Amino acid sequence: MRARSVLAFCAFIVTVRSTLRTDRQFWTDLAHNELEEALKIKWNLNPAKNVILFIGDGMGPNTVTAARIYKGGESHRLVYEKFPHMGLLKTYSANKMVPDSACTATAMFSGVKVNQDTVGVDASVQHRDCEAGLKAEARLKSLAALALEADKSAGFVTTMRVTHATPSPLYAHSASRSWECEARLPDNSPCKDIARQLVEDWPGRDLQVIMGGGRQQLVSNATGTEQDPINLSPWTCYRQDGRNLIEQYKTDKQTRGFKHSVIMNNRELAELNVNETDYLLGIFSNEHLSYDHERNKGPDGMPSLSEMVGAAIKVLQKNKKGYFLMVEGGNVDMAHHRGWAKVAVNEAVAMEEAVQLAADMTDAEDTLLVVTSDHTHTLSINGYPDRGSSIFGIAQPSSHDGINYTTLSYGTGGPGSFQFYVQTDTTGSHVMRREPSKEDTEQYNYTQVAGIQLVENYHGGGDVAVYARGPYSHLFHNVHEQHYVFHAISYAAKLGAYSSSTSLQVNVFHLAIITAISFFML
């Protein structure tokens, strides 16, 4: 049966290759279409009433390229690749050339670069320096906080724990991203864990939408099931202080007279009464949400990113003054860390579907959509596979050892990705690679080869792309520092220091004076 499937797939690839156009008119038409798009682009100078910021965690340029090919072939374009404006973001942090998700999210959400593994605090705070993180002058204000101050609504959706590295800088201030619950705090620490900050402190307690995973960070001694087990690994946190922050959330909203809903599965999300919900908390798993291809899609299962985004927009758009929404496709990163390129690419496609939904549900005249990533991974697309072949397939035999290699590989990886071994014969010992043509490289859990073995696949330090549509999307136009995202969005939505454009104009005027004085002094 498996042999028949392989033969059928090969026949499909041959058919696809035979129908790929390569004539001159095809290439001319492609270029003319792009030229017509470019000539029609006009700057949208309307204030951004609404802002939706998508973060594909670990979704570097090679992941985007692989997702494009996987979904529609080399000439295909993902929905955000059709946005009129784009640029690149430099992802280094205040102290690292290659960053983590906490410092990069803080940069994008709060406007300054900070130290690795810190959340919502400036670079004066070193990792795990609790006391420094408590200083008011070190704490940063996020886009979500600025939106609330402007009487807009704000919220976030993630496939990760709601206390994880990317969403937490929206509402928390912590010298360590790992302090998600009290169990990871140092003994007798005066610092408050990230989960408590979400539920107890401003702006977390006033966010209108919170959706993702992480029940075991919110509920003390949470229990799991076979489908949704408790995770006790050193990478996560398990609350044990007797608190039930979900019940505390409910009590807070009831006390303040807010219409609210707390939902836990697909059935409750499908039955959500948006008209009776001004505050929405959705916690759909004990840990991170499952990969999209594995999640239980039944009534008791977990929703897709698109389903969460749709509900979030419906709740947030009730505010006539507008809203800010952050959406994280976090499982792109989780899969890359494990060396599962197909899972990562499939997660990137799932996030693109959420972007499409958001684009369909909003108006480009008043809503700024921004799609980007926090950092890259070490994913590589290798030469020279045929056009039209599977992005997860074999590229060709190596000219060095004659062994095939896959189109995708990693620079670093965990033990499962280290596919080298020593072969000894009469001529001596040789380092050899496993032959990938003898394995099913199309499986989701196929682990691509990696050049350097580590505990897992580490992040990359390359630039990431940023795509934008809507008001002031032209502000994303070249190579930017990553923290520029905060400033461009704030300016577009007239938030914080940019609530009036006069402050920026004054700064430009001062810069012009300084430049003129410097010129005459030469």
* Residue 76 is labelled as binding a ligand: no
Q: How many CA atoms lie within 13 A of 40 on its CB side?
A: 9
Inter-helix orientation angle 341-361/61-72, to 10°: 80
DSSP symbol at 426: T
* Residue 459 is labelled as binding a ligand: yes
Q: Is residue 55 within 8 Å of residue 329, measured between CB atoms? A: yes
Q: Is residue 408 within 8 Å of residue 382, measured between CB atoms? A: yes
Task: Please measure the distance between the N-terminal and C-terminal CA atoms of the chain and give it in whole angstroms.
Answer: 80
* Residue 375 is labelled as binding a ligand: yes
* Residue 187 is labelled as binding a ligand: no
H helices present in 41-160, as ranges: 61-72, 101-110, 130-133, 143-149
- 10 Å CB burial of residue 298 (0-12, 13-18, 19+) is exposed
Buried b (16+ CB within 10 A) or exposed e, 503-519: eeeeeeeeeeeeeeeee
Would you state the torsion angle of the CA atoms of residues 420, 421, 425, 427, taken in this order, to the nearest 10 degrees?
A: 50
Looking at the DSSP assignment, which residues form a beta bridge with residue 369?
52, 469
Going along 79-152, which residue ranges are E strands? Answer: 85-90
Q: In what order do the strands lie in the sheet with 379-381?
A: 379-381, 408-413, 450-453
Looking at the DSSP assignment, which residues form a beta bridge with residue 363?
none
Looking at the DSSP assignment, which residues form a beta bridge with residue 282?
211, 263
Pick the catalytic residue: 75, 93, 101, 142? 101
Q: Is 369 helix (H, G, I), strand (E, B) or coil?
A: strand
* Residue 164 is labelled as binding a ligand: yes
Q: How far is CA 31 from the centre of its chain?
A: 31
Tokens representing 224 are 């799991």
Of 374, 292, 142, whose CA–CA distance to 284 is shortest?
Answer: 292
Q: Is residue 380 within 8 Å of residue 490, measured between CB atoms? A: no
What single string gives the DSSP state of each residue in 216-263? HHHBTT----SSS----STTS----SS-BHHHHHHHHHHHTT--EEEE
Of 246, 198, 192, whose CA–CA distance to 222 is shortest?
Answer: 246
* Residue 374 is labelled as binding a ligand: yes
* Residue 430 is labelled as binding a ligand: no
Residues 6+ apart with CB under 8 A from 10: none
For the question of residue 101 being annotated catalytic, the response is yes
The annotated binding site is made up of: 57, 164, 166, 328, 333, 337, 374-375, 459
The annotated binding site for Zn(2+) is made up of: 57, 333, 337, 374-375, 459
Active site residue ranges:
101
The annotated binding site for Mg(2+) is made up of: 57, 164, 166, 328
